[in-house]
Structure formats: C-alpha cells, structure tokens
Amino acid sequence: MKQTMPIDGKFELMIYSYSPDELAPAISAETIGYHHGKHLLTYVNNLNAMLPGSPQEGKSLEEIVLNAQGGMLNNAGQILNHNMYFEQFRAPVENNVPTGRLALVIDHDFGSFEAFKEAFVKAGATLFGSGWVWLSANAEGKLVITQEPNAANPIQKGLRPLLTMDVWEHAYYLDYQNRRPDHLNALWQIIDWDVVAARYDEV
C-alpha cells in the first residue's frame, strides 16, 4: 500500500474530491462537515502534537500504525482509516457496481456482489461499539471481511485494506440516528469502485 509521508514533520488533513453536499442522502453535508472538518482534523492535530522528539517522527502514517502504541497509535490509526474512507466516495450512482479484476474476485470469493454486500453490512451492523468494517485482501489475494474495533486497521493483521465503512456513531448519527444498517446500505450508492479497484490492483 502507498505510504503516507509527513510534510515538514506534519501530516495534513486529507482533501476529498467531491463537494460536501454531493453524497446525500447517504451522508449529509452537515455530517461531512463535522466528520472531516472536526473529528478527522482533531486526530491530525493530536498526532502532529505527539510526533516531535518521538521515535515515530518522520515515519510514514502506515509505519506509525504498525509500530506505535497508546494515543499515538489511536490517532494515527484514525487518520489512516478516515483517509481511506473519505477517498472512496463519489456522487450517488444507480446500480453502482464494482469494476475491473476486483469485480470478478468479489463474485469468486463471495458468490455474488449481492451476497458480498449482505455479509459486509451484517459485519458492520453487528460490530459492538465503535469501529470499522473492512474488505481486505490477504497475502494470497483472497478477499476477507473483518470487524476492527476503535482505531484498528487491517494492516495490523498483515491484510491489504480495500474498502471500509465507519460505524462510529459520529459517522451517521446526525442523519440516521440509531439506524446503522440503513446508513450502511445507503453507502453502496456512493462507493467509488474505481478507487477500490485501484487499491486491489496496487502491488
């Protein structure tokens, strides 16, 4: 996976490629504003404040996630998770389906795209508390769905992360309140499968 390097010792708030009102009704502009502009920004500021003089100073975000502990690991993990999350969306598309080699592998490993979506939403809906549901590839290229608690990322298990849904309440509560499965199902319309397929094809 591509390494995210600090610039002049600091990580920057990622910039997404859509406008904040384009993802509704899956995600409202208000939720994007808080989620990206407040929650993610806080993780970025927290990590940047911890780096000077630490063993992780100058390391990539991915290296920090693999080697740090405690608050540094939690903030770095949340930046990596949110960067991948906000990068993978685009304006809603009807009949939005995977592209490229990834589409074939999803059919092979899960039986069908519909079966994959059902298993993925079930994993997200049943994750207790805060965390993330992920689609990743293992070392053999086989696809796996994992539930990761809090700030964890599949790279900590040696997996290559491809797609994620955030099930922390801050990701959906303004728009969907307690209806987490409805929010997760709505996200399928806004997944940019070209981004996800590129992550799969990346060596």
| Contacting positions for Mn ion (CB under 5 A) | 166, 168, 171
CB of 110 to Mn ion, least distance (A): 26
Cβ 128 to Mn ion shortest distance, Å: 17
Tokens of 81: 């998770």
Q: Which is nearer to Mn ion, 166 or 192 (CB)?
A: 166
Q: How far is the CB of 198 from Mn ion (least distance, A)?
A: 22
CA-derived radius of gyration, the chain? 16
Q: Is the distance from CB of 87 to CB of 195 less than 8 angstroms?
A: yes
Which residue's CB is nearer to Mn ion, number 35 or number 90?
A: 35
Chain residue at closest Cβ approach to Mn ion:
166
Cβ atoms of 90 and 81 closer than 8 Å: no
Distance separating alpha carbons of residues 13 and 163, to the nearest angstrom? 20
Asked whether the beta carbons of 84 and 161 are under 8 A apart, the reply is yes
Residue 175 contacts by C-beta under 8 Å, 6 or more apart in sequence? 25, 27, 28, 30, 31, 183
Nearest-approach distance from CB 34 to Mn ion, in angstroms: 10
Identify which of residues 113 and 173 has a Cβ nearer to Mn ion in the complex.
173
Nearer to Mn ion, 6 or 131 (CB): 131
